């Protein structure tokens, strides 16, 4: 009955008030999406809610004063503590859709083909590579750590940069607007503990690390195995070849044009299941042929 009475007492002002609060919360989640600030903010919210609940229910005067002081201090401290995340979030809001509108589909398709072709050849030669494709989140602070180039992307140039005896091979290439902006750039390493058990090297940790704090797409080629991987949003898909990499990159750029991120990953996982089924069926066919030859 109380719920029905509450719903009946809602007026237009209350609805607008609720919508504004929801908009602010959504904006904050958008600002901090994919950053290391999310678990910290979640912990702070839990602590403040718990302290407010205890001070109100138990009527703890001193504790209520302490809670108010902490909240006041947090309002001042949060912009200082999370200044890099807030700045990146503001830049993200200002650049959403802008870069894509200035990029024709033919340019994006050429970039995908160039990167996929280069990754395939680097894999064959067992040359390690780390290629970062900037999207809406700016990567200027990492671009400045490398050697500025501003060159048109091509498979030949990528192969030259990542040749083992060149001075630029040890680091990341950052591509912006289909142009190689920086080479030998230094990227942050991921702090994920689960990767230690999987024996993931520094190049893969750096690729996952930059994908955790931005929406960049990262292509990684292992120097030890020649294996191609792609990372985005802190997740990584491994054991790819050039055609599969090309399919995945197209899916991510389709997502940038309007498809939701969830559907992109769903599409990728469907593709992986399809490839796995094809591989299993090929193995079964091969086994069947061997058994037929033995029976004959």
pLDDT in tens, 25-37: 777 766 666 556 6
Q: Identify whether residues 140 and 244 lie together within a single domain.
A: yes
Is 294 within the bounds of a domain?
A: no
Residue among 162, 167, 163, 99 nearest 133 (CA): 99
Q: Identify whether residues 113 and 221 lie together within a single domain.
A: yes
Q: Identify whether residues 65 and 110 lie together within a single domain.
A: no
CATH code, domain with 200: 3.40.1700.10
CB 242 within 8 A of CB 117: yes
Q: Which residues pair with 132 in a beta bridge?
A: 174, 218
pLDDT in tens, 111-141: 999 999 999 999 999 999 999 999 888 888 8
> What Cα–Cα distance (Å) separates residue 190 from each residue in 33, 36, 198, 211, 217?
16, 10, 14, 9, 15
Is 33 within the bounds of a domain?
A: yes
pTM of the model: 0.62
Question: Where is the domain boundary, 95, 117, 149?
Answer: 95
pLDDT in tens, 233-247: 889 999 999 999 999
Helix, strand or coil, per DSSP, at residue 54: helix
Domain of residue 42: give its range. 2-95
Confidence of residue 20 (pLDDT cuts 50, 70, 90): confident
Is 284 within the bounds of a domain?
A: no
CB 228 within 8 A of CB 119: yes
Q: Which residues pair with 130 in a beta bridge?
A: 220
Is 106 within the bounds of a domain?
A: yes
What percent of the chain stands above pLDDT 90? 36
pLDDT number for residue 51:
83
Strand 172-176 versus strand 129-133 pairing type = parallel
Q: Identify whether residues 153 and 9 lie together within a single domain.
A: no
- Give, as one character, the DSSP assignment of residue 138: -
Helices (H), the chain: 2-8, 12-32, 37-57, 61-81, 83-95, 98-101, 105-125, 140-143, 155-161, 194-197, 202-212, 242-256, 261-295
Residue among 255, 246, 248 nearest 270 (CA): 248
């Amino acid at each position: 009955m109380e719920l029905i009475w509450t719903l009946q007492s809602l007026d237009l002002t209350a609805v607008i008030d609720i919508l504004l609060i929801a908009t602010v919360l959504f904006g904050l989640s958008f600002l901090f999406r994919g950053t290391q600030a999310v678990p910290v903010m979640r912990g702070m919210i839990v602590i403040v809610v718990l302290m407010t609940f205890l001070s109100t229910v138990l009527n703890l005067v001193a504790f209520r004063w302490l809670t108010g002081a902490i909240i006041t201090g947090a309002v001042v401290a949060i912009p200082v503590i999370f200044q890099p995340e807030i700045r990146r979030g503001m830049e993200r809001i200002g650049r959403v859709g802008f870069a894509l509108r200035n990029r024709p589909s033919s340019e994006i398709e050429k970039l995908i083909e160039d990167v996929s072709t280069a990754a395939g050849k680097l894999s064959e030669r067992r040359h390690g590579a780390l290629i970062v494709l900037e999207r809406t989140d700016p990567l200027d602070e990492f671009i400045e750590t490398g050697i500025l180039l501003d060159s048109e992307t091509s498979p030949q140039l990528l192969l030259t940069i990542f040749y083992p005896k060149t001075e630029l091979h040890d680091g990341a290439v950052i591509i912006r607007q289909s142009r190689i902006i920086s080479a030998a750039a230094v990227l942050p390493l991921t702090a994920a503990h689960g990767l230690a058990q999987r024996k993931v090297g520094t190049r893969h940790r750096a690729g996952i690390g930059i994908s955790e704090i931005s929406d960049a797409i990262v292509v990684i080629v292992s120097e030890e195995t020649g294996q191609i991987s792609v990372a985005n949003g802190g997740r990584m898909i491994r054991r790819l070849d050039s055609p599969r990499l090309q399919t995945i990159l197209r899916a991510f750029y389709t997502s940038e044009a309007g498809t939701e991120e969830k559907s992109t990953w769903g599409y990728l996982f469907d593709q992986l299941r399809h490839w796995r089924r094809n591989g299993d069926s090929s193995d079964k066919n091969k086994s069947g042929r061997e058994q037929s030859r033995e029976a004959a």
